[in-house]
Amino acid sequence: MYGVKKIMLSDSTSPNLILLKLKNKINFATMKILTVIGARPQFIKAAAVSRAIAATNNLEEIIVHTGQHFDENMSKVFFDELNIPIPTYNLDINSVGHGAMTGRMLEKIEELLLKEKPDLLMVYGDTNSTLAGALAAAKLHIPVAHVEAGLRSFNMQMPEEVNRILTDRISNLLFCPTTDAINNLEKEGFSNFDCMIIKTGDVMYDAARYYQPRATQPTDEIPEKFILTTIHRAENTDQSERLKAIFDALQEIAKDIPVVLPLHPRTRNILAKSGLDKSLKNIFFIPPVGYLQMIWLLQNCEMVMTDSGGLQKEAYFFEKPCITLRDQTEWTELTRAGVNHLGGADKEMIIKAFKHFKGSKTVFPKELYGDGKASEKITKSIVDYLKSI
Ligand code: UDP
C-alpha cells in the first residue's frame, strides 16, 4: 500500500539510506479513499465526512456518484449548497429495477476500482449504491468501510435491510452510530469475523450541527405552525391501502395543524396516478427542498411525521417529537426514549400518537448520537487502519 516496492535500490545503497527512504515513503504516502454515493441521505452524510477527509494530511478522496438520485433537487442542490467535492465520476445509473441497477453499478465500480486502485472504499447507509460499491471492492480485496453499520429493522422485505446486512458482512471497518447498532452486530456474531467494529456517533448529527446556522426558509407560504411530513418508503408508496391510511390520518390531523410535505419524486408520481392528493385540505405539498431549507423546516415545525430514516434522527436533533410512519424503526433508542412513536400505516395509531405529543411535553435525552465529531473519528480510524495493514 505504501508503494515500498517502487523504491529502486542499487547494490551500493547504504542500509541507513534505505531506511530513510522507506521512512519518508511511509510518512508521505498519500492514502486514497474511493467513496461511492448515489442517494440524497448519502450526500448529506458525505458532506460531513468529506470535510474531515479534506482536513486530514495524506488522505485523498475520489467521489463516485452512481446517479441513483439524479433530479436537480434530489442531487445537485446538495453538492452546490453543502460544498461536497464534485464527483470525479458520475455513472448515471437510475430508473431501472433493483437487479439491473445494482448489477450495472457493480460492473462500473469494478472498472473504476481497477483504474483508480484506491487503498479503501467507503460507502454509506443502505442503498443499492452502498451494496454495489462494497461488493465490487470486496471481490477485488480492497478494504471496505461502511458508515452507518449495524442498523437493523428486522424486516427483510425492505430492500434497505438486505443491502445493509450484506454490506456489513463484507466490510472491514464497521462504523456504528449507536450502541444498539453495535449490539445488533454482536448478536449476529460479527465479533468472530475479521472486521473492526467502531462506535463513532452519527455523521448526520455532525452535519446538522455544522449547517444549522445557515438554515433558510424554503418559501414564504409556510404556515406559522405546521407539522413536517415526508413519505417515500416503498412499503408505503407501493401499497395503496397503506398510502391511503396515512393520508386519511394526515387529513384528520391537518384540521388541527397544517401539514407541510416536501414531496419525493416517487411519491409525487404515485399520488398523481392515484388522484389521492386531489381532495386533501390544509396539506401543503412543496417540491423536495435542499438540506439548508430542511433544517429550517425542522427548526420551525411543531412535530415530524415521516417514514424517512434520517429525518427521525433530525427530529430528535432539533427536539421535535416524531411519529414514524412505519411498523418498525432502526433507531430504537428514539422509541425507547419516548420521543418517537411508531404509527405504522394505521390511521388510529397515527392520530393517537399525534394527540399524545400534542397534549404533553416531550423530554429529549442528551447525546444519543455522539458529540458531533463522528466524521473525525471515522477519518482517524481509517488512517490508523490503513497504516496497520
Ligand atoms: N431531506 C432534504 N430535503 C427533503 C427531504 C429530505 O434535504 O425534501 C433530507 C433530510 O433532512 C435527511 C435526508 O434528506 O437529511 C433523508 O433522506 P431520505 O428521507 O430521502 O432517506 P432516508 O434517510 O430515509 O434513507
Q: In order of start, what are the domains of the chain with their CATH numbers? A: 15-202+371-388 (3.40.50.2000), 214-358 (3.40.50.2000)
Note the pLDDT of residue 16.
56
Residues carrying an active site annotation? 232
Q: Which pTM was predicted?
A: 0.92
Note the pLDDT of residue 5.
31
Note the pLDDT of residue 275.
84
Note the pLDDT of residue 2.
33
Cell numbers 463484507: residue: 170
Inter-CA distances, 320 with 223, 313, 315, Å: 17, 10, 5
Note the pLDDT of residue 27.
52
Note the pLDDT of residue 274.
86
Q: Which residue ranges in the chain fall short of pLDDT 70?
A: 1-28
Instruction: Please work out whether the CB of residue 75 comes within 6 Å of at least one atom of ligand 1.
Output: no
For ligand 1, the distance from its centroid to the CA atom of residue 311, given in whole angstroms, is 6
Note the pLDDT of residue 279.
83
Summarize pLDDT for 215-226 with one digit per residue, the tens. 999 999 999 999
Atom number, ligand 1, closest to the C-alpha of residue 287: 8
Note the pLDDT of residue 150.
98
Pocket test for ligand 1, best of 126, 230, 296, 331 (most atoms within 8 A of CB): 230
Note the pLDDT of residue 43.
98
Atom number, ligand 1, closest to the C-alpha of residue 264: 8
CB 282 within 8 A of CB 258: yes
Instruction: Please work out whether the CB of residue 120 comes within 6 Å of at least one atom of ligand 1.
Output: no
Summarize pLDDT for 228-276 with one digit per residue, the tens. 999 999 999 999 999 999 999 999 999 999 999 999 999 999 998 888 8
Atom number, ligand 1, closest to the C-alpha of residue 307: 24
Instruction: Please work out whether the CB of residue 289 comes within 6 Å of at least one atom of ligand 1.
Output: yes
Instruction: Please work out whether the CB of residue 314 comes within 6 Å of at least one atom of ligand 1.
Output: yes
The protein residue whose alpha carbon is closest to atom 25 in ligand 1 is 309
